[in-house]
């Protein structure tokens, strides 16, 4: 796609909702699980009596965060999101802190969503069970390929499953409530089992009980992940960008809250039991159910109960739950590359990340995200229970700093605003952000306390590594820019060298050597000579005999090499030439074969590669590679062009494959 077609990739609200909100919407498939699982540590009664209360607190936090981010998208619509807000209003280090937290969270979003989707699929597809990790890796690769096609294309492809999931969950909730009001809603299969507390949690009181509630709350806050994606993706919306982004935020928040509380209500109403160690905690007639018992997810158990007399409903919910969990990773595939491009533009990440691919997607960022997520999935064997412990730390770091930044933003603007009506609007917005900062900070503290030893420390460690890495990259770019900047006297920068001393490296007399000599002569250097290394005295004498017989109009000098080295004598000779005439430039011409197959590279050019590497680090020396294309390389330029321009459909190798 041409660059001038970028406007065609912008998203209307109906496509932006599934693109940017699939992560937050899909959390209804695992956030209730985490609440019930954590409370289930103390037994089934605790989950039944307190899960809805934890759910309401999570909903309150989500509403506050959504309202706060609606302020963000209006104030900072450029796409920097939390990073821009923190950088502008708090400082660059705060911005880099937010960026490192978000980058880690995006990677975890892909790993958790894909793993959760595969786990849900395993309950309906027995052949997946036991092979979750390779299936999850394959799905990441598939999502990567789809996103490389472009944002709009991937959004259009993912829109139907996202809306189908919403219809399925809300439809199931309505039907379940109708059955509950009529008194014919059955109990879940797991409700027939006794759920006992884990060892050491038989009797909780006081601080221990409060800590368990805080753990359940922090786990349930996984429902808030993905809220920030819309503020980072405002540039991808059609005009008016800020208004459309704010509307999409409100839609996402309303739908997510409705589905989350519906699932918690139905799970409580049907007596769902969900244990971290079901083989030990769940008992039938006082006997543990054992390792053979298969525990479905909360949403799976609710679907089996609500649609006990309508099996297609069960399959529909199971299918689209698995699909939406997989597609939820798409939120990260849209957020990570955009944020990485902004960071690259500011010099905190490699410059290649700010370049769009041939489909106008940030291809390099997409590939890095996919690679990092695959490593996590392999490391944790696609186990959601382990991965979820690393989750949400990063997102609440960004929430908190972003909202603090917005409070400072309104404080700054209030000092300059004199109109009462505008001041009232700003003060209301500031109040929303104050509440948002307070709630986000409180949740962050709770998450750090309750999840630190369970895995959050590794997420924090990853953020610290990214933080210092980005600071180092920025320092490098600043140092290089200063080093390369023109001095005050431009005439000094444009001054020509006194002379050019040209050296052509020779190993034997053949066509590549003759081309290098001809090219060197065409540049009209002040001094031209050919150089060979006498590794084998007899071969060197034969080369000199042939040289004289051929009447080549350039002198050939042979360097002694008693230890049979090639690179060191040449480098020392070049350095000596530089020392003798520091105002001159030494140009070294290196004949080089161009081959068409990878295995041919092993057979040729090894000395040339070592010499080129050494010459690049020699000051005052210009290294010129003079290529000679062998027949095997015919057509290779089209293959290389196809690879470098990222058009896989046109890739072909010189051998016809």
The CATH number of the domain where 166 resides is what?
1.20.1740.10
In a domain, 88, yes or no: yes
Do residues 208 and 296 make contact, with C-beta atoms less than 8 angstroms apart?
A: no
Q: What is the pLDDT of residue 556?
A: 94
One domain, residues 180 and 327: yes
pLDDT along the chain (657 residues), means of 10: 55 81 80 84 76 89 87 78 88 92 89 82 71 89 82 65 91 94 90 82 72 82 79 80 90 91 92 85 85 83 91 88 80 82 88 70 85 92 77 82 90 84 88 87 84 80 94 90 70 68 92 93 93 89 91 92 85 90 90 80 76 85 88 67 49 46
One domain, residues 529 and 382: no
Do residues 335 and 106 make contact, with C-beta atoms less than 8 angstroms apart?
A: yes
Cα separation, 104 vs 457, in Å, equals 13
Q: For strands 282-284 and 194-195, give the pairing.
A: antiparallel
Residue that terminates a domain, selected from 439, 454, 469: 454
Q: What is the pLDDT of residue 650?
A: 44
Cα separation, 655 vs 82, in Å, equals 50
One domain, residues 283 and 415: yes
One domain, residues 432 and 504: no
**246-249: Cβ within 8 A, 24+ apart:** 246/70, 246/73, 246/74, 247/13, 248/13, 248/16, 248/17, 248/20, 248/21, 249/66, 249/69, 249/70, 249/73
Q: What is the pLDDT of residue 652?
A: 45
Q: What is the pLDDT of residue 493?
A: 56
Which burial class, exposed, middle or buried, applies to 173 when counting CB atoms under 10 A from its CB (0-12, 13-18, 19+)?
A: buried
Q: How many CB atoms lie within 10 A of CB 141?
A: 12
One domain, residues 195 and 316: yes
One domain, residues 431 and 565: no
Classified as helix, coil or strand, 102 is helix
Residue 602's domain comprises 492-650
Cα separation, 133 vs 307, in Å, equals 30
One domain, residues 405 and 545: no
In a domain, 473, yes or no: no
Q: What is the pLDDT of residue 638?
A: 62
Question: For the domain that residue 564 is a member of, what is the CATH number?
Answer: 3.40.50
Q: What is the pLDDT of residue 115?
A: 87
Beta strands in 107-170 (DSSP E): none
pTM of the model: 0.72
Cα separation, 88 vs 275, in Å, equals 45
In a domain, 36, yes or no: yes
In a domain, 612, yes or no: yes
Q: What is the pLDDT of residue 558?
A: 93
In a domain, 5, yes or no: no
Residue that terminates a domain, selected from 400, 429, 454: 454
Provide the domain count of the chain.
Answer: 2
One domain, residues 562 and 439: no
User: For residue 203, what is the DSSP state?
Assistant: S
Q: What is the pLDDT of residue 443?
A: 83
In a domain, 471, yes or no: no
In a domain, 344, yes or no: yes
Residue that terminates a domain, selected from 454, 472, 503: 454
One domain, residues 433 and 497: no
Classified as helix, coil or strand, 225 is coil
Q: What is the pLDDT of residue 624?
A: 92
One domain, residues 505 and 419: no
One domain, residues 191 and 56: yes
In a domain, 480, yes or no: no
One domain, residues 273 and 340: yes
Do residues 37 and 267 make contact, with C-beta atoms less than 8 angstroms apart?
A: no
């Amino acid at each position: 796609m041409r660059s001038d077609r970028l406007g065609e990739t912008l998203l209307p609200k109906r496509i932006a909702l599934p693109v940017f909100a699939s992560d937050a919407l899909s959390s209804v498939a695992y956030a209730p699980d985490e609440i019930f699982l954590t409370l289930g540590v103390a037994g089934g009664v605790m989950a039944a009596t307190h899960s809805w209360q934890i759910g309401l607190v999570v909903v309150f936090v989500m509403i506050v965060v959504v309202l706060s981010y609606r302020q963000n998208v209006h104030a900072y619509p450029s796409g920097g999101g939390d990073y821009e807000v923190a950088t502008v209003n708090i400082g660059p280090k705060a911005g880099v802190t937010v960026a490192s937290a978000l980058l880690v969270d995006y990677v975890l979003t892909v790993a958790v969503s894909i793993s959760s989707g595969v786990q849900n699929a395993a309950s309906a597809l027995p052949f997946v069970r036991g092979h979750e990790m390779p299936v999850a890796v394959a799905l990441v690769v598939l999502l990567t390929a789809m996103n490389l096609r472009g944002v709009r294309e991937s959004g259009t492809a993912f829109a139907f499953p996202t809306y189908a999931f919403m219809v399925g969950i809300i439809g199931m909730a309505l039907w379940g409530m109708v059955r509950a009001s009529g008194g014919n809603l059955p109990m879940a299969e797991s409700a027939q089992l006794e759920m006992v507390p884990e060892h050491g949690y038989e009797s909780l009181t006081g601080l221990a009980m409060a800590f368990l509630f805080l753990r359940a709350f922090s786990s349930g806050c996984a429902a808030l992940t993905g809220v920030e994606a819309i503020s980072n993706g405002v540039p991808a919306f059609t005009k008016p960008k800020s208004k459309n982004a704010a509307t999409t935020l409100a839609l996402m928040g309303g739908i997510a809250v409705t589905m989350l509380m519906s699932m918690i209500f139905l799970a409580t109403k049907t007596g769902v039991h969900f244990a971290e160690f079901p083989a030990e905690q769940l008992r039938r007639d006082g006997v543990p159910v054992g390792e053979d018992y298969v525990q479905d997810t909360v949403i799976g158990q609710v679907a089996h109960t609500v649609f006990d007399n309508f099996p297609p409903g069960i399959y529909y919910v199971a299918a689209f739950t698995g699909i939406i969990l997989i597609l939820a990773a798409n939120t990260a595939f849209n957020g990570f590359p955009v944020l990485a491009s902004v960071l690259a533009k500011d010099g905190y990440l490699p410059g290649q990340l700010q370049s769009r691919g041939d489909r106008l997607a940030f291809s390099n960022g997409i590939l890095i995200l996919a690679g990092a997520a695959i490593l996590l999935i392999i490391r944790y064997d696609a186990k959601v229970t382990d991965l979820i412990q690393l989750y949400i730390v990063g997102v609440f770091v960004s929430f908190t700093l972003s909202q603090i930044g917005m409070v400072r933003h309104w404080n700054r603007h209030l000092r300059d605003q004199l109109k009462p009506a505008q001041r009232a609007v700003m003060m209301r917005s500031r109040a929303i952000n104050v509440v948002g900062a307070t709630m986000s900070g409180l949740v962050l503290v709770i998450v750090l306390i309750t999840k630190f030893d369970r895995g959050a420390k590794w997420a924090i460690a990853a953020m610290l590594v990214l933080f210092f890495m980005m600071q180092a990259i920025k320092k490098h770019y600043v140092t290089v820019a200063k080093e390369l900047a023109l001095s005050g006297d431009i005439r000094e920068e444009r001054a020509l060298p006194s002379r050019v001393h040209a050296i052509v490296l020779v190993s034997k007399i053949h066509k590549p050597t003759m081309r290098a000599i001809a090219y060197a002569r065409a540049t009209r250097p002040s001094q031209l000579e050919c150089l060979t290394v006498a590794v084998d005295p007899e071969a060197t004498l034969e080369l000199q005999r042939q040289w004289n017989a051929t009447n080549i109009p350039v002198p050939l000098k042979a360097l002694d090499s008693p230890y049979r080295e090639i690179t060191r004598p040449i480098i020392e000779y070049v350095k000596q030439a530089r020392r003798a005439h520091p105002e001159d430039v030494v140009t070294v011409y290196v004949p080089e074969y161009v081959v068409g197959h990878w295995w041919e590279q092993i057979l040729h050019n090894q000395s040339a590669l070592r010499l080129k590497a050494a010459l690049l680090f020699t000051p005052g020396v210009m290294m010129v590679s003079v290529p000679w294309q062998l027949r095997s390389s015919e057509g290779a330029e089209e293959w290389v062009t196809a690879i470098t321009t990222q058009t896989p459909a046109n890739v072909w190798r010189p051998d016809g494959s």
